[in-house]
Amino acid sequence: MFNLVLFGPPGAGKGTQSIQIAEKYHLAHISTGDIFRREIRDETPLGLRVKGIIEKGELVPDELLIDLLRSAMHKYDGGRGFIFDGFPRTLRQAADLDDLLEEDGEKVNLTLALEVEDQELITRLLIRAEREGRKDDTREVIANRLNVYQTQTRPLIDYYRKQGKFRAVAGQGTIEEIFGRLCKEIDVSLSSR
């Protein structure tokens, strides 16, 4: 299996790129943000529990993520691998993901980070707010999400870099250009296995 983590601040284009990567490399796409939005829409107990947290731009507590992830992964048993989009976001989640994959004799093979300047991220997120009306795309919540990314998620770069699994990719340019850069890194990683 090939397991890929796509990593980057809100608005970096993780969702768009993950869908294309999943299709090209036949990976199962797991977006924890999409899972939570579905739970909120369906007003499930989990959805009701996380709604306020997500609307403020905070992270959902780590202990709620692991079971969610386990059941999302089990749906795709026997596939070629996963692309994790928006997960892990904390060191605890990264360790949990390692444990979960290890249960099946698997590991994270590659972590790719999309790098985009803050000003560009804010512009993109405000445009998305108009188009999609996501409740966490207001100016205030965006600032909080960028801050949460810097303080809680960025430390993961070192975690993966120490394991020689981390590659940064410029997240500016057209969707096709960025996709091309990501594919190049994936191809290198696949061919060196």
Q: Is 110 in the site for ligand AMP (CB under 6 A)?
A: no
Catalytic site includes residue 14: yes
Please indicate whether residue 89 is annotated as part of the active site.
yes
Residue 32 is a binding residue for ligand AMP (CB under 6 A): yes
Annotated catalytic residue 145: yes
The candidate with the shortest Cα–Cα distance to 21, out of 191, 175, 192, is: 175
Q: Which is nearer to ligand AMP, 70 or 184 (CB)?
A: 70
Q: Does 8 contact ligand AMP by CB under 6 A?
A: no
Nearest to 167 by CA among 150, 148, 192: 192
Tokens of 61: 């507590």
**72 is a site residue for ligand AMP (CB under 6 A):** no
Contacting residue, 60, 126, 129, 183, with ligand AMP by CB under 6 A: 60
Closest CA to 79 of 103, 102, 99, 104: 104
The answer to whether residue 134 is catalytic is yes
What angle (nearest 5°) sits at the alpha carbon of residue 2, between those of residues 109 and 62?
A: 65
| Amino acid symbol at 130 | E
**Contacting positions for ligand AMP (CB under 6 A):** 10, 32-33, 36, 53-54, 57-60, 65, 86-87, 89, 93, 136, 145
